[in-house]
Amino acid sequence: MEQQKFDKEKDSSEWFTWIIQEAKLADIRYGVKGFLVFQPWSVEPMELMYKYLEADLERRGHKKYWYPTLIPEKNFYLEKEHVEGFSPEVFWVEKGGETKLEERLALRPTSETAFYSMFSLWLRSYKDLPFKTYQRANVFRYETKSTRPFLRSREFYWIETHNAFATEEEAFKNVLEDMETTKRVVFGVFGIPTIVFKRPDWDKFAGAVNTFGADAITPDGKVVQQPSTHMLGQNFSKPFNVKFVDRDEKEKYCYLTCYGPCISRIFASVVLTHGDNKGLRFPFEIAPKQIVIIPIMAEKEPKVLKKAQELKEKIEEAGFRVELDAGDNKRPGEKFYFWEMKGVPLRIEVGPRDLKEKKVMIYRRDTGEKKAVAEKQLLKEIANEGRFLSENLKKIAKAQLDKSIVDAKNIEDVKKIVGRGIARCGFCSVESGGAKCAEIVEKETGGRIRGTRIDVKEKANGKCVICGKPAQEVVYIAKEY
């Protein structure tokens, strides 16, 4: 096994490339640029992540659909801003066999134009509303920027929700609830803390009235966009004819919203946020294996292996995901190193002496602490230590995010902070006239304005760091990973 050479805090990017290969998360050698093969060690946790997010959406009343991967060209062109935003990134299917298709078909880059064409057939009355749907899907985007496994691929895995409401208020309430889902699941379960921004007008989803995006931070101080939720207003319901007859018997256009948690990208943040110099560290809830059992000196004492097998069965029956590494081709030390790199939260060691004393050793991947546990208490201890580990990873991640936000008084400050953290500063106005200042920010600092916070209220004082006019807003500036 190759000793890793990268310091995760300083060379996050090299570390990320290393761990993808070393832990067998994905193989980039498929042969089509921007497409990769996801391997079991990333597919397992992503499956679990899907389940947590979907369960949350189901609780909120969303129903699951499976839509076709192909979207007819005429649908795609109905909403003007949407077309302009997405056209450069669409893969088109033009032929079936050798026959040229009468109409080109888009490989979905996102599915607004698929969903809303059907909404117009299904929705009739206020009684049909609210109408809340979702699907898990892979989507395709011809990324022209350099691609990065999990973060920016040309095919990625996500969930998209599409929803129709009778009023703007109800639609906006749903947008706020999306942000709660992000907080509950992405932070609460996956341990990724985020800041939620209202994106500036020039940075919103193509066709949306407003976009609210959550940003996470990488160890070296860059941001990674997490789920965004979009208020679409009536921008799509008009061209797609999504109407209903209200209580007053008048026909009205619905208000639409959508939300897109990108599983493969959130997974990148799980890797980047929680990993350390030894390798991955999975939160207990989404670890592909939660526990690895390593028998010690089993070759001298056959009873040890028998005990290890017995423990494995018992742990598995209790519903945990457990691996027994009983191979005799590696020394225990090598096995420890390997499973630590793989990020397995808990390690159980059982040796001849433990057998006599009816106990086992439990090791925690996050703290490196080891303790002896009576065999009788094992299942309870696993559940406890697993929970403590997840809480600890969350705490570490939150501290990292808080530390990365630094106040900037002028453009020189912003330059120093961006690339290593998030600059917080006064800004003239995101709503009106600020676009010019934003351009300067981008040109001079390499960072982008992420928006104004919506998760906490902040009052601006002082001046815009660019033009010097009185600041009306507090904005955050950062480089994207």
Q: How far is CA 285 from CA 50, 61, 223, 260, 319, in A?
A: 12, 24, 24, 22, 12
Q: Which two tokens stand for residue 206?
A: 């193509």
The CA distance from 444 to 412, in Å, is 9
Q: How many other C-beta atoms lie within 10 A of the C-beta of residue 125?
A: 11
| Nearer Cβ to Zn ion (360/477) | 477
Q: Which two tokens stand for residue 199?
A: 């994106």
| Nearer Cβ to Zn ion (53/430) | 430
| Least CB distance to Zn ion at residue 347 (A) | 54
| Least CB distance to Zn ion at residue 450 (A) | 16
| Least CB distance to Zn ion at residue 257 (A) | 31
What stretch of H or E contains 384?
helix 378-404
The CA distance from 381 to 362, in Å, is 9
Identify the sign of the CA torsion 157, 162, 168, 174: negative
Q: How far is CA 438 from CA 216, 261, 442, in A?
A: 21, 27, 6
| Least CB distance to Zn ion at residue 41 (A) | 47
Phi, psi of 243 (to 5 degrees): -125, 165
| Least CB distance to Zn ion at residue 174 (A) | 33
Cβ distance 53 to 158 under 8 Å?
no
The CA distance from 47 to 195, in Å, is 25
Peptide bond before residue 288 is cis, with ω within 30 degrees of 0: no
The binding site for Zn ion (CB under 5 A) comprises 428, 437, 464, 466-467
476, amino acid identity: Y
| Least CB distance to Zn ion at residue 456 (A) | 22
Phi, psi of 335 (to 5 degrees): -65, -45
Smallest CA-to-CA distance from 134 within 239, 47, 34, 62 is with 62
| Least CB distance to Zn ion at residue 434 (A) | 6
- 3 state SS of 195: strand
| Nearer Cβ to Zn ion (227/426) | 426
| Least CB distance to Zn ion at residue 469 (A) | 5
